Amino acid sequence: MSSESRQIDRREFVVTTAAGLAAAIPVRLFGQGPAPRRTIDPVVVASANGNRFKNGGDVTCVEKAFGLMSAGTDVLDALIAGVNIVELDPEDTSVGYGGLPNADGVVQLDASCMHGPSRRAGGVACLEGVRTPSLVAKAVMDQTDHHLLVGADARQFARQVGFTIEPDLNTERSRRLWLEWKRRTDPHRWLDPRTRAQAGLEAGLQMAAEGLIDADHFYGTINCNGVGPSGDICGVTTTSGLAWKIPGRVGDSPILGAGLYVDGDVGAAGSTGRGEANLFGLCSFVIVEQMRQGRHPKDAGMEALRRIKANTTEKRLLNPRGLPSFNVSFYVVNARGEHAGVSLYQSKYAVCTKNGAQTLDTEPLLSGRADE
């Protein structure tokens, strides 16, 4: 064979081989198409109230969300449909309609949502008059170039895009509990903000101890995260916030990276509990970043809790053991569908898989109770 023939044969070999490799490489590497879809077992994780309240229906939040996304509904739409059950249920005093009001007796709601596949998010804070703030947060995501709207302007936006604005979201129960709290709070202490704040906190905690309000609902909130059958990851958090809060107070729930964080390639994390403790460290973001480095959801969540414990140094926030006198919980899921519920002190969380819905114990960082 001549040298020219050998060169031609080599050229043909290179061209043929390159064409074969190009065909074998997914088209997305050349920017010409979407990534291949994954198929996994879907899962929904949420705070415990996600498997408790049904608003008079037959299914809980996690059951509703799991059923919808398993049937092909967009994962975020499914999760929001799930938390709508809790937002609308007047028996849950931590979220939406009938949520425990602020110190002036006004129900102010916060919410956020994140859509992993599209890298989009939306949130509202101090929203009044709309029972389902999670849907308004999604409208912010879908219809604006912004991530967060607040206060009267958030309400005006909601009205403009078609939500019904109600004059008062209190139920008979939530108003009665607010009046009881007011009765227990000494009005003569307004001149001393620190004493006044402590008096209000003690009154609320005493009402929880007496069973007048759910201890978990003093801080409120539902977080719900899910991984769909195609691997899409989304999350939503919605709350009426801290019971009897200063009007205008915004906690962690509507803040991306605090009350909720989602990375469509890694996983999702959200929280309930003392929002200020979570806000200081943007712990949901920390958890997702820990999972990005390969840590299991439980280990990632524990790292965030350790940071909260280390950052809690004010004496007023410590119990007699010198540990945090409050609870914070995280609900975590990674892209493989592995999940965990973790908390400073043992609590509960909800999970729904193909085996059905369960309410499980969280993994606690600390022993005992927050008030011990």
Catalytic residues: 221
Name 350's Cβ contacts closer than 8 Å, sequence gap at least 6.
44, 45, 46, 47, 48, 49, 50, 51, 52, 60, 61, 62, 357, 358, 359, 360
Cβ burial of 199 (10 Å; 0-12, 13-18, 19+) is middle
Cα 338 from chain centroid? Answer: 17
Q: How far apart are CA 159 and CA 62, in angstroms?
A: 29
Name 357's Cβ contacts closer than 8 Å, sequence gap at least 6.
51, 60, 62, 63, 66, 350, 351
Sign, CA torsion 29/33/38/43 = positive
Residue 83: closest CA among 152, 133, 25? 133
Pairing status of strand 339-343 against strand 363-364: parallel
Pairing status of strand 260-263 against strand 233-239: unpaired
Is the CB of residue 47 less than 8 Å from the CB of residue 214?
A: no
